[in-house]
Structure formats: C-alpha cells, structure tokens
Amino acid sequence: MMILNKSVAVLPFVNISSDADNEYFSDGITEEIINALTTVQGLKVIARTSSFAFKGKNMDVRTIGRQLGVSTVLEGSVRKVEKRIRITAQLIRTDDGTHLWSKNFDRELQDIFTLQDEISLLIAEKIRENFGHLEIQRHLVEAPTKNIEAYNLYLKGRYHQLKWNKKDLLKAVEYYKMSIAEDSSFSFPYFGAGLSLGILAGWEFMPYDEGITSADEFLKAGLQKDDKNYLGFFALATVSFWGKWNFNKGYDYFIKALKHSPSFTDIEEGLAELYTANGEFDKALNHANHILILSPLSPNHYYTKANIFYLQNDFENAI
C-alpha cells in the first residue's frame, strides 16, 4: 500500500486505570482525537474501524504503517482516577520507529475537551514540521457540553453502541438517556439513542413501530439543539434507509452528513450500500474504493465491495 507522508493512524489508547471498566473512556478519547484530526485539510487519518483492529496487539509500528499506509502512528495510554486524568502520548515514524514527539498530560477531568484539542493540535503540528505544510485551524475540538458527567455517560453509551448487538445496543440507549438527563442541551446522546433504537427496530430486536417512533423523537430533538452535526444526519440517513427503506431521504441525509464530515467512512459506506440497493453499481464502487483508503482493514467495507461485485455476477472479484 502506498504511504502518504502527511498521514497518521491513532491507535487505541491503552486503559491503565486500576478499574478495567474505564476502557470506555480510553476508547472514547481515542475516537475524539481521530475525529479532531480528520478536520485538518491535507492530512490522511485512518478511520476508527481500522485503527482499532490493532487494539490489544503488540505489533511493530513499521508493520502497522505498511498495513495502513501511514507515515506516523500515535500511541498512548489513559489513567482515570476520580476527577483527574493522566494521558501519555507519543508520535512515531513508521519507516524507522523514531519517536517524533512524546508528552505526559496531567489534568482535571473537567479539562478533557481542552486536552483533546491540545493533543490533536500538537500532533498535526508535528506532522507538518516533519512532512510538509498543512492548514491547521486554531482549534480542532469544541466542547459539546459543559457537563462532564453527561459526557462520561455519553462515552459509555458510545462504547456499548459500537458492539452492535442487542444487549449492548439496549444498554447504550439507557446510558444515552442518562446523559440527556444530566444535560438536556447536549445533542450527541440524542443522536446515539436515535441511531441505536433505529437499528434495534430494523434488526427486529424490539417492536418495529415502537423503535422507529422513539428513534424519530430522539433525532428530531437532537437536531433542534444542533442542526449541523454529522452524527445527527448520519443517524437520520441510517434510520431512513435501513429502518424505513426510504431511499430518497436516506440519500439526502447521507449527503448532508458527508458535507459536515467528509472523512467519516461510515457515511460513505451507507451511500455505497444505498447505491448498491438501487442498482447504481459504479457509484457504489467509487465510494467503496475511497473508504478502503481511509479504512483498509475494515471487514464491513470489504463486504460492501464484495457485494457490489456479487450482485453483478462478477463472482471472481467478489471472492
């Protein structure tokens, strides 16, 4: 795989807290840094689905760099103790294993968004310093809520949602509801609850009408608080397409989501699946090929691409 100079994979930060249940927090911090770096124009950032393929694996960064097609890897650890956090992070070249930068951060939990912003900016600046010019905004992370407990509960919901099974999706909805109870102005948990309920209904893990109605209510409420959030449009697109088989609305919402977050590969996967269902295989394949650049180790993306070939009776390429 061709390696671009201005590129990075953020590997899952290791939870070194005494409480193993804090893994949701280290995973959440990792994802937030990935999301922040994707806003830097000209920087290739590997999507979560592929960077998390290395979770719990002790592999040479040179091997990781070749598999993901990146020049740098960010590794780190998180220790969360009551209301304090300690994050250790290091940026490493994948051609020779050289450490470009490393730092320890000790902060109050209340400062988590400022810390995410600081780490993301430092990483982008170090890549620019070593590999060439990048346009870097003054800030990469904005606090979505002032209530840290609401954010903490949201991360727990997100952690369970991404397991994509009935038990964890139901648990995710409960955490999202608790997050909303802590801060009803925080939009993220509304989108998480709406998407989870839509999936539960679509997969027949709960009564369809009940799930879809609840999903619509959460998503409507979330967009009233934040009508420019890609998570909201992505959730609406997914529920419209997979939950209601409304291709037109699904397409419109996917496009809106992509406008606000061009590097979120789940959006393009949704578009590829929609085009496939509509028989527009060339468009579907274009999206499938693009997302595999940003997420070359995602089994879902390979399945999506294989299905495009299969439905055209191109069984050799499908296999």
Q: What is the pLDDT along the chain (319 residues), one digit of tens a residue?
A: 667 789 999 999 999 988 888 999 999 999 999 999 999 999 999 999 999 999 999 899 999 999 999 999 999 999 998 899 999 999 999 999 999 999 999 999 999 999 999 999 999 999 999 898 899 999 999 999 999 999 999 999 999 999 999 999 999 999 999 999 999 999 999 999 999 999 999 999 999 999 999 999 999 999 999 999 999 999 999 999 999 999 999 999 999 999 999 999 999 999 999 999 999 999 999 999 999 999 999 999 999 999 999 999 999 999 9
How many angstroms separate the CA atoms of 82 and 100, rounded? 31
Q: Using the 8-state DSSP alphabet, how is residue 205 labeled?
A: S
Query: pLDDT tens-digit profile of 193-242?
Result: 999 999 999 999 999 999 999 999 999 999 999 999 999 999 999 999 99
Q: Distance between CA atoms of 10 and 45, rounded to whole angstroms?
A: 8
List the beta bridge partners of residue 44: 7
Helix (H, G, I), strand (E, B) or coil at 139: coil
| 261: nearest Cα among 289, 286, 232 | 232
Tell which phi-psi region holds residue 55, choosing left (phi > 0), alpha (psi between -120 and 50) or beta: beta
Q: Is the dihedral of CA 253, 288, 47, 70 positive or negative?
A: negative
Crossing angle, helix 265-277 and helix 247-260, to 10 degrees? 160
Per DSSP, which regions of 145-248 are E strands? none
Q: In whole angstroms, what is the distance from residue 4 CA to residue 45 CA? A: 10
How far does Cα 39 stand from its chain's mean position? 13
CATH class of 148-318: mainly alpha
Give the predicted TM-score (pTM) of the model.
Answer: 0.94
CA distance 150 to 155: 9
Q: 141: helix, coil or strand?
A: coil
Neighbouring C-beta atoms of residue 319, cutoff 10 Å:
8
Topology at the third CATH level for domain 4-131: Rossmann fold (3.40.50)
Domain range annotation of the chain: 4-131, 148-318
| Helices 265-277, 230-238: inter-axial angle, 10-degree rounding | 30
Question: What are the tokens at 182?
Answer: 């802590």
The predicted-structure confidence for 132-147, as pLDDT tens digits, reads as follows 889 999 999 999 999 9
Q: Whole-angstrom Cα distance, residue 41 to residue 151?
A: 27
Using alpha carbons, select from 110, 140, 138 the residue that is nearest to residue 45: 140
